[in-house]
Chain A
Amino acid sequence: MSTRRIRVLIGKPGLDGHDRGAKIVATALRDAGMEVVYTGLHQTPEMIAEVAVQEDVDVVGLSILSGAHLSLFPRVRKELLARDMGHVVLTGGGIIPAEDVASLEQQGYAKLFGPGTRTEDIATWIQAEMQRRWSDEGAAR
């Protein structure tokens, strides 16, 4: 079992100013022992991908409550792939209708969380996902 601390980037893409959820999740993941970088507001997909590279994160979690998720989530993924960051776990949350969640989960987002989610459940999910990936990597070696 890996003892490396999980590194997470919490990002706010687009012009959306709602950051209560993003900051609560960032705080909760930090409390759960992860290293968390929060981008702050009004980030372009390029800016988020750049920070992900610089901080060498394992997980990118995006928060959008502005309805622009179908445009912004795929663009962040594209920018990450362009920077050879295809290995990061992509997740996120916000005000996202169920059918859009399904669509984004088909486009490379491992899981999206909706309103009312317990922060503990997000932390547990990320830990399990990272353990799974790290043990897959170990097996591959």
Chain B
Amino acid sequence: MTKQAKRGPVSSTSSADPRALWEAELAAARLRGAEFSTVSQSPLQALYGPAEAPLDYERDLGYPGQFPFTRGVHPTMYRGRLWTMRQFAGFGSAQQTNERFKYLLGLGQTGLSTAFDFPTLMGYDSDHAFAEGEVGQVGVAISSLEDMQRLMDGIPMAEVSTSMTINGPAPILLAFYIACGERQGVDPRELRGTVQNDILKEFQAQHAWLVPPIPALRMITDVMGYCAERVPQWNTISISGYHIREAGSTAAQELAFTLANGMEYVRRGVAAGLNVDDFAPRLSFFFDSHIDFFEEIAKFRAARRIWARKLRDEFGAKDPRSWMVRFHTQTAGVTLTAQQPENNIVRTAFEALAAVLGGTQSLHTNSMDETYALPTEKAVKIALRTQQLIAEETEVANVIDPLAGSYFVEAETSRLEQEALATFAEIERRGGVVACIDSGWIQKEIHRSAVLYQRAVELRRKKIVGVNCYEEPDGDATPLELHRIDASVETDQRARLADLRRRRDGARARRELEAIRAACRSRENLLARFVAAAHADCTLGEIADVLRQEFGIYKEPKIL
């Protein structure tokens, strides 16, 4: 506590210490509740002052674009360029998603973000038995280079940056994308975008895996190595807290597990013989923006500070770009309600504003109808317009890190940093991230938080409008027009695959698959082999089958 704060201004009406006076008034008053906490159920004080935010400005905050980047990764932030408005989209066939992409670009969206269906996410072709009923449902079905070509048809790949939410089979989909660019006449050096490629959080939270952790991590270092040389503008991993949070974690757990995963990738890259500064600048991050406005802003700021300190001081990175947390944000799907769904527009707006005030590099805003189905064009348009409204009307983008110096926001930033550091130590004590996945510890921690939150909602300690307060009798009737996926998507996709298998050079495809098998058994870079296999029209499922045969199938630990 500073001297100034301790004494405080002298009251003209009382000789009592003003702080003590205020505390007495607060203690005597009737309050709305006995306890106040964040949505993560971290206790909150009624008031924050200098004592709660003891900062050394240069050490803890610094300047935008400078270590430790608490105030943002670019010197100009949104005065230079606004965040990338990137709506996650994908459904049905490649052609349908291509049309949605063009619709979004036409509305002023500035980057693409691809959602794949579950068969694609799990490395199965659309005609596999496990794919029955799932093709094109939660994302687009991409089983081959030709599907990727249909997806990107008429979209200039040298100009648009594309994010692909794919993990287990990420190297294969990236190979399709690189090969697709080559067929469009685009040099891989010009391609810009991101593959999520974050397998650790798949085992922890999102659960779309292909092979067990160790070979999966080897494929990730192969991607980092290949791209450092040949696709230098590509973000090789988007280290994601989003799914951890959506699975039920607290804000502090999201922050801690995500950054712990990030550090594990750095260790693996270094262990594979890469120089940290050759790949760390291409690591990017992806966070949730939940409904607790200040806790989220503090989380984004803490993420930057923690990573910068770890990378510089523990991993010895010299390139300032290695120290930076550049991140994408998505508003929190779990906060959307099926009841009174139009209210979701408002929730999303608050969450988007938190992401912007937290300094995000790109943003997806959820649509109001997503507790029922994939969004309609109208719902997506409102979600995108929400971002444009923040950018163009509110004037919040004019001042960098505007909440810095708020005692509360700084105290929360430091609190989240301290909780993350404690969790890193706990993970270390338990043998590291992979050991914590194998034992199910991280999964159990996330589940425990999900249960605690659900209890708080059911006890009405945490309120959700339309769900446990301000309910309406018909609040959960579906009043919206929904987006439906036609069953013909699956039959058409099966027919296209059968046709591709007939047309292609079968002997060449088989040779490429055997070359992948050989590479699995050696140290040859697998991504290089996948690109060659893509050009030979090997399908996703065929390549993934070789990987499953060579590396085995992952079995999740029983946690319940």
Contact = CB atoms under 8 A, between A and B. Distances in A.
Bin the interface of chain A by size.
Answer: 20 to 34
A138 interface: no
Interface stretch (A9-17, A53-61, A83-91, A126-134): A9-17
A82 to B, nearest CB: 17
A41 B454 CA distance: 21
Contact of B133 (A14, A42, A98): A14
Contacts of B373: 67, 95, 97
A137 B396 CA distance: 66
Given A23-B560, A116-B338, A119-B458, A71 B133 contact: yes
Contacts of B485: 67
B138 to A, nearest CB: 5
Contacts of B559: 23
A74 to B, nearest CB: 10
Contacts of B450: 20, 23-24
B408 interface: no
B381 interface: no
Interface string A108-121: 00000011101110
B263 to A, nearest CB: 24
A109 B226 CA distance: 50
B133 A68 contact: yes
Given A15-B130, A67-B373, A40 B451 contact: no
Contact of A95 (B131, B207, B371, B477): B371
Interface residues of B, number: 45
A20 B337 contact: no
Contacts, number: 99
Task: Tell me whether chain B's interface is mostly helix, strand or loop, or mixed.
Answer: loop
Contacts of B138: 66-67
B372 interface: yes
Contacts of A34: none
A101 to B, nearest CB: 9
Interface of A: 14-20, 23-24, 26-28, 38, 40-42, 44, 66-68, 70-72, 75, 95, 97-99, 114-116, 118-120
20 contacts: A14-B118, A14-B133, A15-B121, A15-B122, A17-B118, A17-B207, A23-B450, A24-B248, A27-B451, A28-B454, A38-B560, A41-B556, A66-B118, A68-B118, A114-B476, A115-B336, A115-B371, A116-B337, A116-B338, A116-B476
Given A17-B121, A67-B485, A97-B478, 15 more contacts: A15-B119, A18-B207, A23-B560, A40-B558, A66-B138, A67-B134, A67-B138, A67-B374, A68-B134, A68-B137, A72-B133, A95-B371, A95-B372, A97-B373, A114-B371
